[in-house]
Amino acid sequence: MIRITYFLASIASVSGVRRLLNGDSPYSGRRLTLIDDHSVPPHPQTPRFGAENDNPDAHLVTSMPLLPDGLFKTRHWAGHLAAKEDGSDKKLFYWLFEPGDASAGDEVPLIVWLNGGPGCSSMDGLWLENGPFRLKSGNDGWTIDVNKHSWHNAPAWVLYVDQPVGTGLSFSKKKNWCSDDFMVNRDCERPIFFI
């Protein structure tokens, strides 16, 4: 078996991903709170990422506009994670992909992809660099194509997180932005800790 490790990302075990998806947390015996933002009315064709409860099935992406049914069979979850438990309105957007090879076993690494900048959305990495999707222009308009070279096919779990708050799909309704690296680290500490 070939094991691939990427030094540009953080690596953890699949057991951490299972804890994240099951809502189990070693963080002071509390559960991870998964939320959803309802401040922007959804476009009729836009999938609603996230949920108001901590049931991972509520975050499971079952269809996407422009992606033909059955083209991408790998399970993936997306939504918002509360950056803090203190009632702060800071929410980090994530998108998690399971390994492309479901028979890979439990020793598959987790790659955490955080685009740099700061202020560059990790969705750039997902859509333009190492993620499973590519936008494709054709005679009939835009479609989503599958990138066979995606890192989830390594095999690995791959987690993309938009950070710091205010980047990409991560938000703070009160515009409570980070002003230094310490604040960025604090906001990412809790969600990443669950991995």
Residue 193 has what pLDDT? 66
Give the per-residue SS3 of 8-77: CCEEECHHHHHHHHHCCCCCCCCCCCEECCCCCCCCCCCCCCCCCCCCHHHHECCCCCCCCCCCCCCCEE
Give the fold, CATH level 3, of 10-193: Rossmann fold (3.40.50)
Binned at pLDDT 50, 70 and 90, residue 149 comes out as very high
38 burial type by CB count under 10 A (0-12 exposed, 13-18 middle, 19+ buried): exposed
Element (H, E) at 185: helix 181-193
Distances (CA, A) of 155 to 66, 116, 129, 147: 25, 24, 16, 14
Query: Is the model's pTM score more than 0.75?
Result: no
The mean pLDDT value for 6-22 works out to 40
Average pLDDT of the chain to the nearest whole number: 74
* pLDDT tens figures, 162-176: 988 889 999 988 887
- What whole-number distance in Å separates Cα of residue 135 and Cα of residue 121? 16
> Which residues pair with residue 60 across a beta bridge?
77
Q: What ranges do the domains of the chain cover?
A: 10-193
In the block, which residue shows the tokens 């994670």?
81
Instruction: Classify 119 in phi/psi space as left (phi over 0), alpha (psi -120 to 50) or beta.
Output: left
Q: List residues bridging with 110 in a β-sheet.
A: 12, 157
A 10 A CB-CB count for 7 gives 6
Position 128 scores a pLDDT of: 93
